[in-house]
Amino acid sequence: MTVETVRDDVVRVLRASGELDAAVAPPLLDQVGDWVRGARAVVLDLADVAFFDSSGVRLVDRFSRECGRAGASLRVVAPPGGVARQVLEIVGMAGPLVDDDLDAAVAALSA
Amino acid sequence: MSAGWDAVPAGLLTLDRDGTLTEANATFLSWVGRPREDVVGRVRLSELLSVGGRIYWETHLGPLLLVERRLDEVAVELRGVDERLPVLLTAVAEDDGTVHVVLSSARERSRYERELRAARESAERSAAQVEALQLVTAALSRAVGVSAVAQALLDAAVRTLGASAAALWLPDGTGALQPHGARGELSAELPRAAAVLHERTAVELDGRVVVPLHGSNHLRGVLIATPRSEAGSDPLDVEVLTAVGQQAGLALDRAGLYEQNADVARELQHSLLAVDPPADPRFTVAAAYRPGVEALEVGGDWYDVFLADTGLLSVVVGDVVGRGLGAASAMGQLRSAVRAVSGPRTGPAALLTHLDRFVGQVEAAGMATLAYAELDLDSGEVTYACAGHPPPLLVRATGAAALLWEGRSTPLGAFASPGDRHEATLQLAAGDRLLLYTDGLIERRDRSLDDGLELLRATAAELAGLPIADAVRELTTRLLQDEVGRDDVCVLLVGWDSTGFERHVSADLTGLSRMRHDLAGWLEDSGVDSRTGRDVVLATSEAVANAAEHGSDRSPDRHVRVRARLERHRGSSRGDAGGDGDPGSDGGTVVVEVHDGGRWRTPTASPERGRGLQIMGALVDDVVVESADGTTVVLRRSLPGVER
């Protein structure tokens, strides 16, 4: 599981890859504050995530909270048919937060 | 004639040609009770014989004397004073016709012969006594166990010792004598006089013979024998019965001791064979133990099934030469040693080397053989070794069967050097089975070992399609059906079934990702479509994380067990479902069980946990929480049916 900043201008894009599960998620939670600090708009790109469960939901939750605290906007990229999208839909978080791809997310933040 | 002539204690006569007496001594005259002048020159010898004797003389003896010139010790009877006098007549004829006769009294000889006969009969009787005693002793020493000794003794009493009836009393647990058995019609009760029972010898009492059976320390029983009542029957021989009683007492001593040992040995073996095989959906196992038909003592055959490590199943069948307590305790020690030594880093060959050293220290295990195999439950790989034991049999799911002749070495013992031990590997496919057994299954006096092995191979191949427990039962029944007096037999059949899935995930979740990939692979191999497979894997992962987090506090020392299986609908079984092995073709259900040793906590404990359950609930059709022996979450997801 890695999370890296792939773009940081008007929008900061953080791309997660690998498997996001209960074994790896907890230490990531504490880094969310650092990852969003100073950003005006944040995209969490989960398109490359191979596995995603309630731990991932928790991570998204934490992003949402830290962004709210920092006054930053947040969009999550989770392509339809992918595991992250599936899980986020199950827990009812897909509608207000999730975009199908990065372009859509950036566009939404730039609007 | 001299005075000596008259004094000779035999009748002396001289006859002329026509048999008239010309001389007779005083002894003869006294026998016939007539004066000399009455007989000499006046009567023929034949006239002095009994009627029968006279006819005999005239028709046989007279002519014989003329021809042969002599007669030797011919028995005739003289007409004596009051009675007939048996005599033996010896006569010699001279050329001129003169006959010299010697008569000796046969009455004296008869007494001698009676005495001789009596002595011979007495000798014969004591020989018969000795023979009877030998027969009884042999029967008693052949008998194994108290009941058998009792039976032999009762049989001997009526068949060999001449009793018309016999009854036996043996002491119960408290030492009180209880009727044990009887032969013949008998209204026998124990004599009231207890003193009789404590005699060292058999005693005649009220027309019966009471025989105490003394062991070296205790009265082991009492035999009461009734003589035959018919005329001419011999009375019971008290001396012989006394000796038999002594023999029987000692035989009962031995039998009692033997039974104690046999009981202990049987119990020991029983406990050793009460194997509770580990439960795992990836293998099935069935075992059978049949004690030898005639043997009262347990043998040294044994088997064991256990997990040497997570995912590594050990199966072993062994044979300790010998019977009884020694063999049972040796096999117990050997079994413990196998369990202690085996493990993922040991392997069969090294295990045997360890056992060689062990056997060298356990005298009773002096001669032991075993077949040992380790089955990797994930991969189906088998590593096996045989120490002087009949070869295991590989039974393929296809019905092919082959004896495994590799990995062989000598029986366990100190003579084997470390480099002598070999092992071999083979790959099982799903549904394949491995058969381990002891030689009693294949060895018969009337057929070669090769024939026995071939019969086993062919029979096992035929039974490949049966459920495993039925296969073992049928195999032992078929191979042992005609056997009498056979040895002990142990049979162990283990089947590998890749269609079941099991993993243990450490509660620190380091193995969580690996488990998901394995489960996904298993689902794919099982023909589950990728969409359904992904849902099941995700739900399972949630359940495991949940269990690790809340049931085991993520302790690396604790494990969460994941098992998965496919269940068929409409009663179709795994083996013949759909014909092409595609489980999706007729629907069915994937069942996943996630088990931890902890206590289930209500989902409200944390919002994340509630979310996990929410996700699980959305991905599978049914989530059930069972709280017996820890917590088990059972997930069910039906598979899409495919229209044909």
Are A83 and B549 inside 8 Å of each other by CB?
no
pLDDT at B520: 93
pLDDT at B195: 65
pLDDT at A33: 93
Helices B238-273 and B106-142, interaxial angle, to 10°?
10
pLDDT-based confidence at B609, cuts 50/70/90?
A: low
B297 pLDDT higher than 80: no
pLDDT at B603: 53
Cα separation, B304 vs B306, in Å, equals 7
pLDDT-based confidence at B290, cuts 50/70/90?
A: confident
B571 pLDDT higher than 80: no
A87 interface with B at CB cutoff 8 Å: yes
Mean pLDDT across the stretch B350-363? 83
Q: What share of chain A is helix, strand, coil (3-state, %, to 5)?
A: 45, 30, 25
A64 interface with B at CB cutoff 8 Å: no
* Chain B neighbors of A51, CB-CB under 8 A: 513, 516, 538, 541
In B438-583, alpha helices (H): 449-462, 468-480, 512-525, 530-546
Q: For B553, left (φ over 0), alpha (ψ -120 to 50), or beta?
A: left
Give the model confidence (pLDDT) of B196-222 as tens digits: 667 788 888 878 888 989 888 888 888
Give the model confidence (pLDDT) of B507-522 as tens digits: 889 999 999 999 999 8
Contact call for residues B337 and B356 (beta carbons, < 8 A): no
- What DSSP string describes B244-299? HHHHHHHHHHHHHHHHHHHHHHHHHHHHHH---PPP-TTEEEEEEEE--SS-SS-E
pLDDT at A1: 81
Residue count of chain B? 644
B270 vs B496, residue with greater confidence? B496
Residue B480: C-alpha distances to residues B294, B393, B439, B493 (Å): 14, 17, 12, 17
> Which among B633, B594, B618, B640 is positioned nearest to B535, based on CA atoms?
B618
Q: For B340, left (φ over 0), alpha (ψ -120 to 50), or beta?
A: alpha
Instruction: Return the SS3 of A109.
Output: helix
pLDDT-based confidence at B572, cuts 50/70/90?
A: very low
* Chain B neighbors of A22, CB-CB under 8 A: 509, 512, 541, 545, 548-549
Q: For B86, left (φ over 0), alpha (ψ -120 to 50), or beta?
A: beta
pLDDT at B541: 95
Percent of chain B clearing pLDDT 70 (strictly above): 86
Q: Order across the sheet with B433-437: list the strands.
A: B283-290, B489-496, B433-437, B393-395, B401-403
In A1-111, alpha helices (H): 25-29, 32-36, 54-70, 83-90, 94-97, 102-110
pLDDT-based confidence at B499, cuts 50/70/90?
A: low
* Chain B neighbors of A86, CB-CB under 8 A: 538
pLDDT-based confidence at B436, cuts 50/70/90?
A: very high
A51 interface with B at CB cutoff 8 Å: yes
B13 pLDDT higher than 90: yes
Instruction: Return the SS3 of A1.
Output: coil
Task: Indicate the helix (H) or strand (E) that contains B444.
Answer: none
Residues of B with CB under 8 A from a CB of A: 508-510, 512-513, 516, 534, 538, 541-542, 545, 548-549, 608, 611-612, 614-615, 618-619
Q: How far is CA B353 from the centre of its chain?
A: 32
> Which among B76, B40, B73 is positioned nearest to B58, based on CA atoms?
B76
Distance from CA of B480 to the nearest CA of A (A): 56
Q: Which amino acid is at B518?
A: D
pLDDT in tens, chain A (111 residues): 888 888 888 899 999 999 999 999 889 999 999 999 999 999 999 999 999 999 999 999 999 999 999 999 999 999 999 999 999 999 988 887 899 999 999 998 887
Q: Which two tokens stand for residue B205?
A: 């009492």
* Chain B neighbors of A54, CB-CB under 8 A: 542, 545, 608, 611-612, 614-615
A73 interface with B at CB cutoff 8 Å: no
A19 interface with B at CB cutoff 8 Å: yes
Q: How far is CA A101 from the centre of its chain?
A: 12
Q: Which two tokens stand for residue B237?
A: 């021989």
Distance from CA of A88 to the nearest CA of B (A): 9
Contact call for residues B287 and B305 (beta carbons, < 8 A): yes
CA atoms within a 13 Å half-sphere pointing along the CA-CB vector of A95: 3
Are B513 and A54 inside 8 Å of each other by CB?
no
Give the model confidence (pLDDT) of B376-417 as tens digits: 988 889 999 999 899 999 999 888 999 999 999 888 875 767
Nearest to B541 among A21, A90, A91 (CB): A21
pLDDT at A26: 87
Mean pLDDT across the stretch B336-364? 85
Contact call for residues B289 and B490 (beta carbons, < 8 A): yes
pLDDT-based confidence at B569, cuts 50/70/90?
A: very low
pLDDT at B187: 58
Q: Which two tokens stand for residue B339?
A: 């369990």
Are A22 and B614 inside 8 Å of each other by CB?
no
Query: Which residue out of B541, B550, B620 would a mutagenesis test of the A interface target, given it has the greatest number of A Cβ atoms within 10 Å?
Result: B541
Q: Which two tokens stand for residue B212?
A: 């105490």
Mean pLDDT across the stretch B267-276? 71
Nearest to A53 among B508, B538, B548 (CB): B538
pLDDT at B600: 58
* Chain A neighbors of B618, CB-CB under 8 A: 90
CB-based burial label for B515 (10 Å; 0-12, 13-18, 19+): buried
B96 pLDDT higher than 70: yes
Task: Indicate the helix (H) or strand (E) that contains B28.
Answer: helix B26-32
Q: Which two tokens stand for residue B259?
A: 């039974």
Most confident range, picked from B105-119, B225-239, B487-501: B487-501
A85 vs B362, residue with greater confidence? A85
- The reply to whether ipTM tops 0.90 is yes
CB-based burial label for A71 (10 Å; 0-12, 13-18, 19+): exposed
Q: How far is CA B7 from the centre of its chain?
A: 79
The whole-chain average pLDDT of chain B stands at: 82
pLDDT-based confidence at B227, cuts 50/70/90?
A: confident
Residues near A52 by beta carbon (within 8 Å), at least 6 away in sequence = A20, A21, A46, A82, A83, A84, A86, A87
Q: How far is CA B114 from the centre of its chain?
A: 54
Distance from CA of B542 to the nearest CA of A (A): 7
pLDDT at B92: 92
